[in-house]
Chain A
């Protein structure tokens, strides 16, 4: 988009932002053409996807706190109506 020849003062630089889009977004050529499955991300040694994603997202430790907080908030609302 922006033409790098434009003569803007540095104060207006934000306009330049999109210029750097995709800067290092490019997928690199691999230095070798092929490799064995052992060298691949998912090798036998490496198991499947198990450790990629978080299974437990819950933080129930804070459940008590939240319960209190909620009650207080409800009181406030009731008081104001």
Chain B
């Protein structure tokens, strides 16, 4: 380990690199001699693409890693068979079949050790969910995770390998026994590809009185929604092969959603002209009946038909946008997020639609989920041109106000939110009120008037502000003096701090990728 020249100077150029080792100067072995004369300069051997060879190994049968099931897998299996986990409507055979599939998949994809088995749904639950799904009850959105079982939500714990015992004392890697130090690494220039977002969320709908209020406020405003939203399974399995576009020939406007497991039958797929009528019908029905479950299911099948026919145009964008708005309005963020993810792809192809409106939502959405990595991507998507857009600018300002803890600015922005962004802001405004109260209680002594809280934190009245304070703390914090109500900040201690932590924690669990 004591070479005096920095190795990369010596070997900087791979092209010219001779091997770093003595060539056959002093062979301790019998070297290979040239065996046959070379008749051809150009390789004529057929390509690897299957055209060759008597060589029987295919990647599929190759490499079945030694399978030693780790304890979490074993305990998972045990749980499958535990009587308390039995689901009467799911037969044992069916469950075992699913179980086998789950484990085989994991083993084959090399994920036995990476899946979080403790969190993975039991096969009987998966089956039940699949059925529910098929029964077209879109409010069941427990799909997430069936095919992507390992939830990264409970992030990494700190590695503590440094304090491990090292079983063999001054161990060193086996390939270095002979102290051959090496340069097996080369420099490579990696090409780049664009980046992409992988957001998979499962947010169950959150119904809040607030939301309902907001909805009413919006009704009648010229928001162009009229449609239902559908949800799709969060993780579709990777397609094995390119099937090529289907050309549909179903004339039926309505269609329940079924998850495809094989190529679709053209008889059940609606062509574009029919789908356009479907959309009109769905808009009408949504306005008239407002049946979210029905609408969601219908939109899902609508989206599916577009996908299998490879239809990507302005109509597609329109469908996703309408769906996204309805989901927003209903507070179904899981559904909304799927549309948003697809919209991002569609906008990148410049097919029309309202990209800035949705870029703004996206930023607000990631504030809510506190997904900073995704937020960074969202910021990267914003162009200088976009920043001139009112909604985008608003969302960016909201973000930066929160990042700096500027609640004063945040709440004045809150009261002035364009488009449907307020539905999203409603999702986190209470959380931010708690953050602001935590700061205020720490900074102001001995008290502040409740009117100050009302104004600073965007409440509609002193009563509403007082009620909020009371819900989160205790009555002793409010005091009436000479006709004015005061918040005794000096006595709040960690009350709001804890409430704040609690409020943020909840989202952490639900909101992580």
Contacts and interface: CB of A to CB of B under 8 A. Distances in A.
Given A31-B185, A36-B2, A3 B195 contact: no
Contacts of A31: 7-8, 11-12, 183, 185-187
Nearest to B386: A14
A3 to B, nearest CB: 5
For the residues of A in contact with B, the DSSP-based class is loop
B188 interface: yes
Contacts of B186: 29, 31
B384 interface: yes
A22 B196 CA distance: 11
Nearest to A20: B192
B349 A26 contact: no
B8 to A, nearest CB: 4
B195 A1 contact: yes
Contact of B377 (A18, A30, A34): A18
A18 B2 CA distance: 44
A35 B1 contact: yes
A3 B349 contact: yes
A66 B12 CA distance: 54
A32 B194 contact: no
Contacts, number: 77
Interface string B220-233: 00000000000000
A21 B194 contact: yes
Interface stretch (A4-12, A44-52, A73-81): A4-12
B345 interface: yes
Nearest to B383: A14
B187 A36 contact: no
A42 interface: no
A22 B381 contact: no
Contacts of B349: 2-3, 6
A37 to B, nearest CB: 10
B498 interface: no
B194 A8 contact: no
Interface residues of A, number: 27
Contact of A29 (B12, B182, B185, B344): B185
B195 A14 contact: no
Nearest to B8: A31
B195 A28 contact: no
Contact of A1 (B2, B184, B188, B344): B344
Interface string B318-360: 0000000000000000000000000011001110000000000
B383 A17 contact: yes
B29 interface: no
Nearest to A19: B194
A28 to B, nearest CB: 7
B163 interface: no
Given A14-B385, A18-B377, A33 B184 contact: yes
A21 B194 CA distance: 7
A22 to B, nearest CB: 6
Contact of A32 (B7, B195, B384): B7
A34 B188 contact: no
10 contacts: A1-B197, A2-B348, A3-B348, A3-B349, A6-B350, A17-B383, A18-B377, A21-B380, A33-B182, A34-B176
Interface of A: 1-4, 6, 8, 12, 14-15, 17-23, 26, 28-36, 39
Across the A-B interface, the 8 shortest Cβ-Cβ residue pairs: A2-B348, A14-B383, A31-B8, A32-B7, A29-B185, A18-B380, A19-B194, A1-B348
